A = this chain, B = another copy of it.
Amino acid sequence: MKLTVVVVSDRVFLDPSSDRIVRLVEKLARSEGFDLDYEYVPNDETLIRLAVLKASLRSDIVVVAGGTGPGPRDVSVDAVKPLLDKELEGFGEYFRRVSVEQVGVRAALSRATAGVLGRSLICVLPGSPRAVELALREVVLPIARLELQVIRGESHWEGLEVVVKSWIASRDLEVLARRSFTGPSRVVLVAACRAEGGVEVDVSEISRLVEEVEREHGVKISIMVSPTARAGSVAAALSVTGDDWRSCYKALGEILEKLNPPST
């Protein structure tokens, strides 16, 4: 896991020896198992945006420190907001609330915020060491691991997923496919089987089979079955996701074979 801190300050950019942030963040981040990277940029919207974009490609968390005040050269928030896929307004709210308790009412005007960019969490914080330490200790680091899982969609996939529907519509297939393709897995296979001459499916048998195949091949299977599908209608739809192409492929084959027994 990697955390990159982007220190935004004209002064520090011109004179890196005046920086008091990087060492502080390094200590806090390492104690939580993060490797640290850092960059110094001046209070310039374009340069901040480039630094954050670059950092987000190779970091789990990007911390921008500095440039969140109401001054004319405080442009970090304006630089980062347009990059975010999702802004998490509650982060700034919570941080300001804790800050006001510690520092007084002026902290209420900080524009600190956070959001999701691709697979990374971006936090924009004031440049004072005290504020950075407060934010990392009280908010960012305690929630980082779990939140990163959610950001990457991993927590949407839990337990055995066998859904029984009397009738499987094309809309259901579309939702299943879209959900699978936008999930976090490297490999995704989606299949739908139509019933030939009508089928009767034993749901508990399907559940056992899915569980067995998931375990054997290290994949995740979602399956919808229509237990009494008529000829021509969809009897089952399924997706297999995982990190390894061959495992997913084999798992799909085994399930399909089971669902379509050779006509005797």
Contact = CB atoms under 8 A, between A and B. Distances in A.
Main secondary structure of the interface of A (DSSP, over half): helix
A107 B93 CA distance: 12
Interface stretch (A29-37, A55-63, A176-184, A247-255): A176-184
Contacts of A114: 109
Interface string A104-118: 011111110010100
A224 B10 CA distance: 12
Number of copies: 3
Interface residues of A, number: 63
A160 interface: no
B100 A94 contact: yes
Contacts of A183: 72-73
Interface of A: 10-11, 13-15, 42-44, 69-74, 77-78, 86-94, 96-97, 100, 105-111, 114, 116, 121, 138-139, 142-143, 146-147, 150-153, 155-156, 161, 163-165, 172, 175-176, 178-179, 182-184, 224
